[in-house]
Amino acid sequence: MVVDDNPTNLKLLEDMLLEHEYEVRSLPNGRLALEAAEQEPPDLILLDINMPEMNGYEVCERLKANVRLSGIPVIFLSALNETEDKVKGFRSGGVDYISKPFQFEEVKARVSAQVGLRLLQQRFETDNYRLQELVQVQVKQIADAHMATIFAIARLAEARDGETGRHLERIQVLCRLLGAGLSEHPRYKTTVNAAWIRNIFHASPLHDIGKVAIPDRILLKPGPFTLEERAIMETHAALGAQTLSAVRDRYPDNEFIEMGIEVTRWHHERWDGDGYPDGLAGEEIPLSARILAVADCYDGIRSRRRYKPAIPHEETCEMILRERGEHFDPVVTAVFEKVADAIQDEWNRMDAEV
């Protein structure tokens, strides 16, 4: 792009550049130049300084202030030959300065150099973008492999108590629905974001991983537990959390592992403080565990077990809502009530796929 209010200069430069196989757009003022650049950014701008309405310095500054156009190199071409004029040109964002009257060999050499640098820059940006895409693909593949491994371990823990179906997958979906609903609540909309919801989705299958340490005679018992047996069974929450804590010691500051510990240790706590293993109450219980408690309870009630029949959705909801403020967080319970239809749809769909 050549910008000059002198038609003779425009014609001369255009003819010279066309002769050397450059595509040229000639514009008589800065306003038109900015509009044209916005529509189709050029690879280089030759810019006069003394022009009506808007001088070359201002045109260059506006270009550099535009993220989309800031990378375009600008060569000033002016009859202003004082050092301070040239310094001002460089300060406004120019990469070179040619004094009028100019020799075309000089213009040609400087244009060629800047166009070559621009093309190298564009190639570097393209290669860098492709490299970033490749890295993102590799990171996603590694992360997916890690999550698949973690999920497989959780499935092994689940399989030990003889349960079948898609309990863990359903828990993931229910936690995601509750998390999404909670993200719209004024109190939690800044903390329950997409990353937080993603973490609880992936961490929720770990909640019963401690069951691998419970003896078969208790874990697989078809009837009710004795007090001693129940006490042993209830240790699974702390045992699972201890295992994940060892992982956290090796990989500190990992938000996924932190949430895994939360849901594993505290998903059997109650809002009124009568839960286990630590007897936490109210907001002492981490939010992730409060969500998991509702999701796990819903799925447990609705699912058929060896010791009980399946319970319909409406009755399950009534049972959970009756525990609002006692077993369950009132806010989480309110969100559950709000998204209950979506929960029913997803649960039915996944149950039908078993």
pLDDT at 158: 67
Give the range among 23-27, 79-83, 322-326 with minimum mean pLDDT: 79-83
- Alpha helices by DSSP H, listed for the chain, are 7-19, 30-39, 56-65, 83-91, 104-160, 167-182, 194-203, 216-219, 227-233, 236-250, 255-266, 287-302, 313-322, 330-338, 340-352
Average of pLDDT values for 35-45? 93
Burial track 128-157 (b if 16+ CB lie within 10 A, e otherwise): eeeeeeeeeeeeeeeeeeeeeebbeebeeb
- pLDDT reading at 301 higher than 70: yes
pLDDT at 161: 60
pLDDT at 160: 59
| 326 backbone dihedrals φ, ψ, rounded to 5° | -115, -70
pLDDT at 25: 93
Q: Which residue has the higher pLDDT, 34 or 81?
A: 34
Residue 159 pLDDT level (bands cut at 50, 70, 90): low
- pLDDT reading at 65 higher than 90: yes
Which burial class, exposed, middle or buried, applies to 189 when counting CB atoms under 10 A from its CB (0-12, 13-18, 19+)? exposed
- For residue range 334-344, list pLDDT tens digits in order: 999 999 999 99
Burial track 209-246 (b if 16+ CB lie within 10 A, e otherwise): bbbbbbeeebbeeeeeeeeebeebbbbbbbbbbebbbe
Contacts 24+ apart (CB under 8 A), 223-229: 223/307
The domains located in the chain, with CATH, are 2-127 (3.40.50.2300), 161-352 (1.10.3210.10)
Single pTM value for the model: 0.61
- pLDDT reading at 164 higher than 60: no
- pLDDT reading at 162 higher than 60: no
- pLDDT reading at 308 higher than 60: yes
Residue 47 pLDDT level (bands cut at 50, 70, 90): very high
Average of pLDDT values for 241-245? 89
pLDDT at 142: 58
What percent of the chain stands above pLDDT 70?
91
| Residue 296: C-alpha distances to residues 42, 148, 167, 168 (Å) | 59, 21, 9, 9
Closest of 260, 266, 291, 298 to residue 281, by C-alpha: 266
pLDDT at 78: 87
pLDDT at 238: 94
- pLDDT reading at 223 higher than 90: no
- For residue range 205-221, list pLDDT tens digits in order: 889 888 888 888 888 88
- pLDDT reading at 3 higher than 60: yes
pLDDT at 124: 83
pLDDT at 331: 96
What percent of the chain stands above pLDDT 90?
55
Residue 74 pLDDT level (bands cut at 50, 70, 90): very high
- Compute the distance between CA of residue 111 and CA of residue 96 in angstroms, rounded to an integer: 9
Closest of 129, 150, 127, 131 to residue 139, by C-alpha: 131
